[in-house]
């Protein structure tokens, strides 16, 4: 979170003319659907049923949940925290992983998400793992929220981020770890355009060999 991975992946897909998949948005959509239905997020059984009851589609980089555009709504704080809870649910994960694999079939795809290189696409041609310092990540999140007119103190964002990191890294099912063959890139002092350019060079070299 906060390493710029979604933005970088989107720029990269545009530069390469590939499809783009934002898997975090899928977990967010499931969390959003649970909150709307007033499902207790700790009720694993009820939460696990939600992905098969909803329809998620991505026309033009928007996210439609059962036909409603929830692109902005799924970025809210409550959904952000809820997403890391539902992402620990094995039934939710297996359901979304199947959708992700289906989206990649027969096409060139830039996908982003914590398990993409390890679990979902272990045979991907190119894998990257983006990192940034905790302070820089929280600052980026603060700027993103500021742009939407919300001000949250940096300490509060750092606390939430740490909680989310711990949950994402310690869960039993597909914890956040870099793939052994991923190139690790620290984005703390780089613009996201520069990161995307670096990845593009790497991919084009790979495509040429
Ligand atoms: O990248 P993001 O902040 O939009 O992700 C939202 C949540 O979903 C986050 O807590 C981690 C989880 N997630 C995941 O477990 N696996 C993915 N492939 C993508 C996101």
Calculate mean pLDDT across residues 104-129: 94
Spatial separation of the C-alpha atoms in residues 63 and 177, rounded to whole Å: 26
196, 12 Cβ separation under 8 angstroms: yes
Which of 7, 34, 87, 165 to mutate for ligand 1's pocket (most ligand atoms within 8 Å of CB)? 87
Neighbours of 36 (CB within 10 A): 14
Which of 114, 164, 165, 179 to mutate for ligand 1's pocket (most ligand atoms within 8 Å of CB)? 114
- Ligand 1 centroid, distance to 16 Cα (angstroms): 24
Q: What is the pLDDT of residues 181-191, one digit of tens each?
A: 999 999 999 99
- Ligand 1 centroid, distance to 91 Cα (angstroms): 15
| Residue closest by Cα to atom 16 of ligand 1 | 114
107, 20 Cβ separation under 8 angstroms: no
Q: What is the pLDDT of residues 137-166, one digit of tens each?
A: 999 989 988 998 989 999 999 999 998 888
């Amino acid at each position: 979170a906060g390493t710029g991975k979604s933005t970088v992946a989107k720029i990269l897909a545009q530069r390469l003319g590939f499809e783009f998949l934002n898997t975090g948005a899928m977990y967010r959509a499931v969390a959003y659907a649970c909150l709307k239905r007033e499902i207790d997020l700790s009720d694993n059984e009820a939460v696990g049923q939600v992905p098969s009851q909803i329809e998620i589609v991505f026309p033009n980089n928007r996210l439609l949940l059962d036909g409603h555009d929830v692109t902005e709504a799924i970025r809210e704080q409550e959904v952000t925290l809820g997403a890391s809870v539902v992402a620990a649910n094995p039934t939710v994960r297996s359901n979304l992983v199947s959708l992700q694999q289906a989206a990649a079939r027969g096409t060139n795809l830039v996908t982003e998400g914590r398990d993409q290189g390890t679990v979902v696409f272990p045979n991907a041609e190119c894998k990257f793992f983006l990192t940034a310092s905790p302070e820089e990540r929280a600052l980026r999140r603060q700027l993103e929220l500021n742009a939407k007119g919300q001000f949250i103190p940096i300490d509060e964002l750092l606390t939430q981020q740490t909680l989310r990191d711990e949950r994402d890294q310690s869960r039993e099912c597909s914890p956040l770890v870099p793939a052994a063959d991923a190139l690790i890139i620290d984005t703390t002092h780089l613009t996201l355009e520069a990161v995307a350019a670096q990845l593009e060079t790497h991919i084009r070299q790979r495509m040429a060999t």
